[in-house]
Amino acid sequence: MINFDYLKLNIYQIYPKSFYDSNGDGIGDIKGIIDKLDYLKDLGINAIWICPIYKSPQDDNGYDIEDYYDIDPMYGTLDDFKSLVSELHRREMYLIMDFVGNHTSTKSKWFIESRKKEENKYSNFYYWFDSPLPINSIFGGSAFEYDTEKEKYYLHSFAITQADLNWDNEDVRSEMKKVIAYWVNLGVDGFRCDVIDLISKDLKENRIGNGPNLHKYIRELFSSFNVFTVGECGSRDIEEIKAKIAKERCELSTLFQFDHFDVTRITKFKRGNPKLYEYRNVLSKWCSTFQDNDLIYTLFTDNHDQSFMISRLGSSDYYFESATCIASMTYLLRGIPFIYQGIEYGAVNSKFNELSDFNDIESINYYNERIKKVSKEEAIEELNFGSRDNPRHPFSWDDSFNSGFSKGDPWLKISTSYKEINLKNDLSKDKSIYRFYQKILNLRRLDAFTIGEFKDLSVDDTIFIFERFYDNDKYLVICNFEDISALEINYDNYEIVLSNYNRDELPKKLSPYEVLVLKKVK
Ligand code: GLC
Ligand code: CA
């Protein structure tokens, strides 16, 4: 059985480079996170997931780890990390670290040894071939790179400087268990497992993921630790995913999948004409049909790899209403909420004109390929729509110098909308997105919204209506889509507990993106 306490987590995802810079070097850091823990606690957060802060050359912003046992000096020291753990635990908050097991930086000591010609303990830590296989890297180009020292090709599913570890080698697996043990000993409560379905491969079939030993390797890795685990799993096969995380198999506590992102665009870099009901249908499917006693689902609208959801699915005319509608449709469902930094004040995509304004390796590789086919303007427009830099721009705390993020030169440009869209400005308004999130997270303290059941009562493509209930407590969540709709059912026995139009009484018609949360009183 799964651990239902996990449904009581309200997790906040921190992109550490861009959250808060405490020492003015332009880079967010651990002390900066500590400074903002009370802020997060006030929002209603009880756990944080921090993207990788291990020692790294930063070719993929920390997802290229050089040393699994050390904190990168730009974020602080191991002592700062220990303070973070105790400051969190003192506030009854949990810490989830990123675990990047599929690959290391080519600067890692393991890789440096592995590429040597003479045999050593690390020789088979990576995948070495005499000739490249016909596999493409997820960041573009061939997934194989020739190494002049070893005179062989190594596999890199991502950037050239991110070499894939060979998990079929037992020594790699035992090193990884040591890594987990080390951080658990330092007080880490959970792990977000980066591209975990890639750790077992089927290279005979040219497949870099979902290999025959995936379940075995995950089980081996975590079975001796009592930690929360969330796996990033691109796989669309529900039965496979369920099997992957079933608790009796000691695999993962929960997982991220991305079906609901697919309906919000044509491709990652191409705008579509998304419909809220399509987004609803995916979430509803996952929350009702697929979620049962073997599976807890994750609820998230945004993360560090996607441009902001509100810039794809929201409306600029109804900015507050659509942001709060998307939040309610997502975070009042059954599952574990992950709130990405910035969405609580309605952060949106930026608009830049030059490639030099971008930092992300995926975006730059994409641009360089794309420019062979379309104009520069078009390629930049696509980056503005889809680039992973969007959610990575420094957090806009206020409208002062560098959006209140740093006194120094920020590592990445501040958001182009920061003068208007920032936390301080949001808090000064009656229609505050932050305060709406606070109310949603407050509702999530109730059993009805955490362990309670979910039932989709929607009848057409204009509204999402669902029930959440536990024992005698029953709530109805009504999220109207973009057009005005009639509220046809009789809700006499209900009282309003949350409204994004400040209603005291039930309206006859619902306004665009209107949200009503009703509690059954009789
Ligand atoms: C995951 C991370 C992403 C990273 C990639 C390679 O998808 O979320 O940021 O680039 O893995 O580690
Ligand atoms: Ca800093």
What are the tens digits of pLDDT across the range 89-131? 999 999 999 999 999 999 999 999 999 999 999 999 999 999 9
**What residue spans of 387-482 are helical by DSSP H?**
423-427, 433-443
Using CA atoms, how far residue 389 sits from 341, 358, 393, 411, 421, in Å, is 13, 7, 6, 12, 17
Tell me whether residue 515 is in a domain. yes
Please tell me the distance from the alpha carbon of residue 522 to that of residue 517, in angstroms, as a whole number.
Answer: 16
Which residue CA neighbors atom 7 of ligand 1 most closely?
195
Tell me whether residue 500 is in a domain. yes
Which residue CA neighbors atom 4 of ligand 1 most closely?
63
User: 């600067």: which residue's tokens?
Assistant: 107
Tokens matching residue 392: 């990575």
User: 């191409």: which residue's tokens?
Assistant: 270
Q: What is the pLDDT of residue 1?
A: 43
Domain residues for 480?
451-520
Tell me whether residue 98 is in a domain. no
Q: What is the pLDDT of residue 295?
A: 74
| AA identity, residue 245 | I
pLDDT average, residue stretch 19-33: 98
142: which DSSP letter? B
pLDDT in tens, 248-267: 556 888 889 888 999 999 99
Tell me whether residue 465 is in a domain. yes
| AA identity, residue 271 | R
Which residues on adjacent β-strands are paired with residue 520?
494
Measured in Å, residue 268 CA sits from the centre of ligand 1 at 15
Q: What is the pLDDT of residue 249?
A: 57
Please tell me the distance from the alpha carbon of residue 412 to that of residue 357, in angstroms, as a whole number.
Answer: 8
Q: Tell me, using a 6 A CB cutoff, whether residue 389 lines ligand 1.
A: no
Residues 413, 419, 421, 426, CA torsion sign = positive
pLDDT average, residue stretch 7-31: 98
Please tell me the distance from the alpha carbon of residue 496 to that of residue 478, in angstroms, as a whole number.
Answer: 11
Tally helices (H) and strands (E) across the chain. 15, 22
Q: Which ligand is nearest to the CA of 27?
A: 2
Q: CB neighbours of 152 closer than 8 A, spacing ≥ 6?
A: 128, 129, 130, 146
Go through 372-394 and write b for each residue having 16 or more CB atoms within 10 A of its CB, e for each that does not: eeeeeeebbbbbbbbbbbbbbbb
Average predicted confidence (pLDDT) for the chain: 94
Domain count, the chain: 2
Tell me whether residue 442 is in a domain. no
Residue with the bigger pLDDT between 286 and 336: it is 336
pTM for the model = 0.97
30: which DSSP letter? H
Tell me whether residue 310 is in a domain. no
pLDDT in tens, 29-88: 999 999 999 999 999 999 999 999 999 999 999 999 999 999 999 999 999 999 999 999
Measured in Å, residue 396 CA sits from the centre of ligand 1 at 24
The preferred substitution site among 303, 305, 306 for testing ligand 1, maximizing ligand atoms within 8 Å of CB, is: 305
Q: What is the pLDDT of residue 289?
A: 60
**pLDDT(489) > 60:** yes
Q: How far is CA 255 from the centre of its chain?
A: 11
pLDDT bucket at 3, cuts 50 / 70 / 90: confident
**Is 235 within 8 Å of 241 (Cβ atoms)?**
yes
Which residues on adjacent β-strands are paired with residue 499?
516
Which CATH number covers residue 475? 2.60.40.1180
Among 10-14, 25-29, 253-257, which stretch is predicted with the lowest mean pLDDT? 253-257
DSSP H/E element including 217: helix 214-222
Tell me whether residue 142 is in a domain. yes
**pLDDT(291) > 80:** no
**pLDDT(398) > 90:** yes
Which CATH number covers residue 119? 3.90.400.10
| Domain end point (choices 164, 181, 212) | 164
Q: What is the pLDDT of residue 250?
A: 61
> Three-state SS for 11?
strand
**pLDDT(522) > 80:** no
Q: Which ligand is nearest to the CA of 60?
A: 1
How many CA atoms, within 13 angstroms, populate the side-chain half-sphere of residue 126? 31
pLDDT average, residue stretch 162-180: 98
**Residues of the chain above pLDDT 70, percent:** 95
Treating both helix axes as pointing N-terminal to C-terminal, what angle do 319-331 and 433-443 enclose, rounded to 10 degrees? 20
**Is 330 within 8 Å of 342 (Cβ atoms)?**
no
| Domain end point (choices 114, 146, 164) | 164
Measured in Å, residue 161 CA sits from the centre of ligand 1 at 13
Q: Tell me, using a 6 A CB cutoff, whether residue 158 lines ligand 1.
A: yes
Q: What is the pLDDT of residue 427?
A: 98
Measured in Å, residue 389 CA sits from the centre of ligand 1 at 13
Q: What is the pLDDT of residue 335?
A: 93
Angle (nearest 5°) at CA 99 between 96 and 105:
140
pLDDT bucket at 292, cuts 50 / 70 / 90: low
Measured in Å, residue 223 CA sits from the centre of ligand 2 at 36
Q: Tell me, using a 6 A CB cutoff, whether residue 60 lines ligand 1.
A: yes
**pLDDT(350) > 90:** yes
- Dihedral of CA atoms 117, 119, 122, 128 in degrees, nearest 10, equals 50
pLDDT in tens, 120-145: 999 999 999 999 999 999 999 999 99
| Domain end point (choices 164, 179, 197) | 164
**What residue spans of 235-375 are helical by DSSP H?**
238-245, 259-262, 276-285, 309-313, 319-331, 361-370
Q: Tell me, using a 6 A CB cutoff, whether residue 385 lines ligand 1.
A: no
Please tell me the distance from the alpha carbon of residue 306 to that of residue 325, in angstroms, as a whole number.
Answer: 19
pLDDT average, residue stretch 481-504: 91
The preferred substitution site among 158, 232, 233 for testing ligand 1, maximizing ligand atoms within 8 Å of CB, is: 158
pLDDT average, residue stretch 158-184: 98
pLDDT in tens, 185-237: 999 999 999 999 899 999 999 999 988 898 899 989 998 999 999 999 876 56
How many CA atoms, within 13 angstroms, populate the side-chain half-sphere of residue 330? 27
Which residue CA neighbors atom 3 of ligand 1 most closely?
305
Measured in Å, residue 76 CA sits from the centre of ligand 2 at 8
pLDDT in tens, 405-462: 999 999 999 999 999 999 999 999 999 999 999 999 999 999 999 999 999 999 999 9
Tell me whether residue 458 is in a domain. yes
Catalytically active residues are 194, 232
Please tell me the distance from the alpha carbon of residue 331 to that of residue 308, in angstroms, as a whole number.
Answer: 16
pLDDT bucket at 246, cuts 50 / 70 / 90: low
Please tell me the distance from the alpha carbon of residue 411 to that of residue 344, in angstroms, as a whole number.
Answer: 23
Q: Which ligand is nearest to the CA of 159?
A: 1
pLDDT average, residue stretch 304-329: 98
Q: What is the pLDDT of residue 177?
A: 98
Which residue CA neighbors atom 2 of ligand 1 most closely?
194
**Is 74 within 8 Å of 56 (Cβ atoms)?**
no
